[in-house]
A and B are shown apart, each in its own frame.
Chain A
Amino acid sequence: MDIKRKSVNKMHGIVIGSSTGGFYALKKIITSLPKGFSLPIMIAQHISPNSDNFMAKYFDGLSLVTVKEADEKEPILPGVVYIAPPNYHLLIEEDFTLTLSTEEKRNYARPSVDVLFESAAYAFGPKLIGVVLTGANNDGAKGLLAIKNFGGTTIVQNPKEAEAYVMPQAALETANPDFVLSLDEITKKLIELENLFRGESSNQ
């Protein structure tokens, strides 16, 4: 018997997780994205619970894409970079809106990369790109595996190049990612994939 149900039309998206050293790694990637880059990017960067939204404002000033702190229930727009606020988990709804949560820390972190990645895997399915960058704990490894299981593209920063190798190393071992790359290569790969997806959707 066939299932009589329409699949939802999914959009393409990118999620990035980072911790120790993440500020500079993220800065490098985000500020290198070209104007008109059309994929939304959601970021969980481990950060002190009491910090303000300095990072989003600072990146926004330096970038050709829009960077902002994620607001609860806001719709995900193409080409916008959303950063999880300090002390909140960021989750992706399957209708492509954003949810914040104050539930328990995961892997000692709030925002947690796993929480973001797992919810994103359900929402975006195979159209998701997950990136784990530098960091000093295991957060993100399970989440990246979930992305992989759902057929998404997985990228890990080369642990040898990362400021802190533990997080990319754990992701590498747990999720066996599609690509292990330097920061510069990651940026290139994201731009290349964006072009590819753009081609796909204009052929439809």
Chain B
Amino acid sequence: MNLYSDEHNLTVNLEIELLLEAIFQQYGYDFRNYSKAHVKRRLLSRLSTSGLKSISEMQHKVLHEPGFFDQLLRDLSINVTEMFRDPSFYLAIRKEIIPILKTYPFIKVWHAGCSTGEEVYSFAILLKEEGLYNRVQIYATDFNTNVLEIAKKGIYPINRIKEFTANYQQAGGRQSFSDYYMADYNSVIFDQSLKKNIVFAEHNLVTDSVFAEVNIIICRNVLIYFNRDLQDTVFNLFSDSLINGGFLCLGSKETIQFSSKAGLYETVNFQEKLYKKRIV
């Protein structure tokens, strides 16, 4: 069969569907409603380096070797992140959300899809500088336990610090960024006091349910990997987890606009994708 024919392409698509079904049934991770182009790209790129001949062979391997599933889980969950990613986002939070949070005696924050934790420590620093850190409980969750382990340590390669520092300054940082970490030869470790009010925990946005009522949800660059239906399911989960008047903060290319839950929110900042759950 011609490897580049429409027929073959459709067969590959079918193999991928079957593989995702197998993964779901055996391991409980549900990628069936992730962006198909994204999943295909990641799987075919793994296939090309794996020595396997087809996605069907991959299915056999994943069913019989949990270690290989671990590999695929890493492939399918894009973990790329940075501290103070999109500095303008943090500026907008400082300006438009912090003043309202300051009126609450206690604040619960949920970072959904926190990856290796850079976003969580960034927000913790912001809360500290705004004098709010002692009134917060931060939940930082991801479905990938490998990245959570890194997040808990709060240790990052030193070669990233230049970029992080520049972001911090553009994000309205008020101190010298080096106040927040200690550097050694190849890595930096973030101040232990930043961790005091953070709980890192495994949580799957697709298959797990509400675990707390929170004032603000930060879920950035996670929903872009989901199809519209799945986005809707997750928006549902978020709406059930947010208090009335609570804030939903998405990635710069994500929007609640097309979701059936859009009506529950008012826009706080369109550019930075900050929304507020209406008080009904």
The answer to whether A and B interact is: yes
Q: What secondary structure prevails in chain B residues at the interface with A? A: helix
Of A29-37, A40-48, A93-101, the one touching chain B: A93-101
Report the contact-size class of chain A (Cβ under 8 Å from the partner): 20 to 34
A122 to B36 alpha-carbon distance, docked (Å): 11
Q: What is the total of A-B residue contacts with beta carbons within 8 Å?
A: 68
Contact status A101-B13, CB under 8 Å: no
Of B122-130, B135-143, B219-227, the one touching chain A: B219-227
Contact mask for chain A residues 166-198; partner B; CB cutoff 8 A; 1 contact, 0 none: 000000000000000000000000000000000
Closest chain B CB from A28 CB (angstroms):
28
Contact status A93-B35, CB under 8 Å: yes
Of A13-21, A84-92, A132-140, A153-161, the one touching chain B: A84-92
Task: Known A93-B37, A119-B37; judge A101-B225 contact (CB<8 A).
Answer: yes
Contact status B253-A71, CB under 8 Å: yes
Of B3-11, B65-73, B96-104, B208-216, the one touching chain A: B3-11
A100 to B78 alpha-carbon distance, docked (Å): 12
Within 8 A of B (CB), among A79-126: 85, 88, 91-95, 99-104, 115, 118-119, 122-123, 125
A118 to B38 alpha-carbon distance, docked (Å): 11
Report the contact-size class of chain B (Cβ under 8 Å from the partner): 20 to 34
Contact status B253-A3, CB under 8 Å: no
A151 to B78 alpha-carbon distance, docked (Å): 31
Contact status A115-B41, CB under 8 Å: yes
Specify which chain B residues have a CB less than 8 angstroms from the CB of A100 in the assembled complex: 224, 253
Contact status B224-A99, CB under 8 Å: yes
Closest chain A CB from B47 CB (angstroms):
13
Contact status B78-A122, CB under 8 Å: no
Within 8 A of A (CB), among B37-94: 37-38, 40-42, 78, 80
Closest chain B CB from A54 CB (angstroms):
14
Specify which chain B residues have a CB less than 8 angstroms from the CB of A118 in the assembled complex: 41
User: CB of B254 within 8 A of chain A?
Assistant: yes
Specify which chain B residues have a CB less than 8 angstroms from the CB of A8 in the assembled complex: 6, 10
Task: Known A94-B36, A149-B4; judge A102-B227 contact (CB<8 A).
Answer: no
Specify which chain A residues have a CB less than 8 angstroms from the CB of B6 in the assembled complex: 7-8, 10, 125
A85 to B253 alpha-carbon distance, docked (Å): 9
Of all chain A residues, the one with the shortest Cβ separation from B257 is A71
Specify which chain B residues have a CB less than 8 angstroms from the CB of A103 in the assembled complex: 38, 42, 78, 80
A168 to B155 alpha-carbon distance, docked (Å): 42
User: CB of A73 within 8 A of chain B?
Assistant: yes
A3 to B1 alpha-carbon distance, docked (Å): 12
Of all chain B residues, the one with the shortest Cβ separation from A149 is B4
A92 to B27 alpha-carbon distance, docked (Å): 29
Of the candidates B10, B41, B227, which one forms a contact with A73 in the assembled complex, judged by CB atoms under 8 Å apart?
B227
Contact status B37-A99, CB under 8 Å: yes
Of all chain A residues, the one with the shortest Cβ separation from B251 is A102
User: CB of A23 within 8 A of chain B?
Assistant: no
Within 8 A of A (CB), among B224-255: 224-225, 227-228, 231, 253-255
Of all chain A residues, the one with the shortest Cβ separation from B221 is A102
Of all chain B residues, the one with the shortest Cβ separation from A90 is B37
Contact status A5-B10, CB under 8 Å: yes
A190 to B192 alpha-carbon distance, docked (Å): 59
Specify which chain A residues have a CB less than 8 angstroms from the CB of B35 in the assembled complex: 91, 93, 99, 101
Of all chain B residues, the one with the shortest Cβ separation from A94 is B36
User: CB of B270 within 8 A of chain A?
Assistant: no
A88 to B225 alpha-carbon distance, docked (Å): 12
Contact status A102-B9, CB under 8 Å: no
Specify which chain B residues have a CB less than 8 angstroms from the CB of A102 in the assembled complex: 78, 80, 221, 224
User: CB of B185 within 8 A of chain A?
Assistant: no
Closest chain B CB from A82 CB (angstroms):
13
Task: Known A71-B253, A99-B224, A151-B4; judge A7-B10 contact (CB<8 A).
Answer: yes
Closest chain B CB from A55 CB (angstroms):
16
Closest chain B CB from A98 CB (angstroms):
9
Specify which chain B residues have a CB less than 8 angstroms from the CB of A10 in the assembled complex: 6
Specify which chain A residues have a CB less than 8 angstroms from the CB of B42 in the assembled complex: 103
A95 to B6 alpha-carbon distance, docked (Å): 14
Besides A3-B7, A93-B37, 14 more A-B contacts (Cβ < 8 Å) are A8-B10, A10-B6, A72-B253, A73-B258, A88-B253, A94-B13, A99-B38, A102-B78, A103-B38, A103-B42, A118-B41, A150-B4, A150-B9, A151-B4
10 A-B contacts (beta carbon < 8 Å): A71-B253, A88-B253, A93-B35, A93-B36, A95-B36, A99-B224, A101-B38, A118-B41, A122-B40, A125-B9
